[in-house]
Structure 1
Amino acid sequence: MADIITCREKYFMHNSLVCLIQAVRNQYCTIELRNGDAVSGKLSFVDGFMNVSLEDAVFITSDDQQHHFEFFFVQARNIRFITIPQNVEITAAIMEQLEKNRRQFAPRLSEIVGGKQLDKGSVKRRLFAAPNDGDEVTGDH
């Protein structure tokens, strides 16, 4: 996954069905494009906006010509639909992927307290301290 993820992308990852497409990463699927063409291959990457990268792909034109590609990128706006493999339990896959996303993008303690290394007790005191008790409060409140 990319190192830099925007807040907007995180929002889409948690509040749309992008998490289902992310859950079928490393499986073979077919993507039908808006122009009637299709591409099949191993889903290697999906970002929060549903841009998709496939490996070992076969591009199938509307007149059934096939072209093989080692790597194929599809921009989200060109996708009509994605066929999910039948062996995927959709509800379980969504729940599992949402949990992975939450763990991956949860704020780290060092981010909350301005990059300082603190123990958990100190973090709690700083986060929940009243503003006038002499200890500087950091983080978003």
Structure 2
Amino acid sequence: MDTKPSAKEIFLYYNTMASLVKGLEQNYTTIDFRDESSVTGKIVNVDGFMNIEMEDCYYYNAKGIEYPFKSFFVKARNIRFVHIPHEKNAVETIQNQLVIFDRPNRSSSKKLTFKEKRAKNYQKELLMNIAKQ
């Protein structure tokens, strides 16, 4: 599912730990749930709300009984812990994800509105008057 994240999702990537979990995509990990169960498998996709899609999973209920699943969807509200693999550095993973989601600066070729043009001209005039003094 390679859809472009919404502005709200990007905001959440920057301001929550979702960016760390997003950096774990294509890695095998364990997720513990609030009801004492867990799932182990490969993370396929993570959205900005930290909903997780997994594949090749084994679900373990609270009694420890194992159930295999080809695919598994984890709703964010059910997550208690996400285990970070030993080979992953959490800080580096977050920094790498933030670089990926870094928005490019607005292009200067954007058409200005009337108010923007007027404000820009007023600023130029003001700076010229200050420079003359």
Tell me if both proteins adopt one fold, taking TM over 0.5 as the criterion: yes
| Alignment-derived partner of residue 34 in structure 2 | 34
Q: 1:131 aligns with which of 112, 117, 124?
A: 117
| Alignment-derived partner of residue 54 in structure 1 | 54
Shift in Å, 1:3: 2.6
Cα distance in 2, alignment partners of residues 67 and 113 from structure 1: 54
| Alignment-derived partner of residue 77 in structure 2 | 77
Shift in Å, 1:95: 0.6
Cα distance in 1, alignment partners of residues 4 and 36 from structure 2: 33
Cα distance in 1, alignment partners of residues 46 and 104 from structure 2: 19
Map of 1:38-117 to 2, 5 A cutoff?
A: 38-102=38-102, 105-106=103-104, 109=107, 113=110
- Helix, strand or coil at the partner of 2:101: helix
- Helix, strand or coil at the partner of 2:117: coil
- Residue segments in structure 1 that go unaligned for 5+ positions in a row: 115-125, 134-141
* Percent of aligned positions that are identical: 31
| Alignment-derived partner of residue 137 in structure 1 | none
- Helix, strand or coil at the partner of 1:64: coil
- Helix, strand or coil at the partner of 2:44: strand
Q: Letter of the aligned partner of 2:12 in structure 1?
A: F
Shift in Å, 1:2: 4.6
Shift in Å, 1:10: 1.3
Shift in Å, 1:30: 0.3
Shift in Å, 1:101: 1.2
> Which runs of structure 1 show a deviation greater than 2 angstroms over 4 or more consecutive aligned residues?
1-7, 105-110
Shift in Å, 1:113: 2.8
CA-based RMSD of the aligned residues comes to: 2.6
Shift in Å, 1:24: 1.0
| Alignment-derived partner of residue 20 in structure 2 | 20
In terms of Rg, which structure is larger?
Answer: 2
Cα distance in 2, alignment partners of residues 17 and 41 from structure 1: 20
| Alignment-derived partner of residue 3 in structure 2 | 3
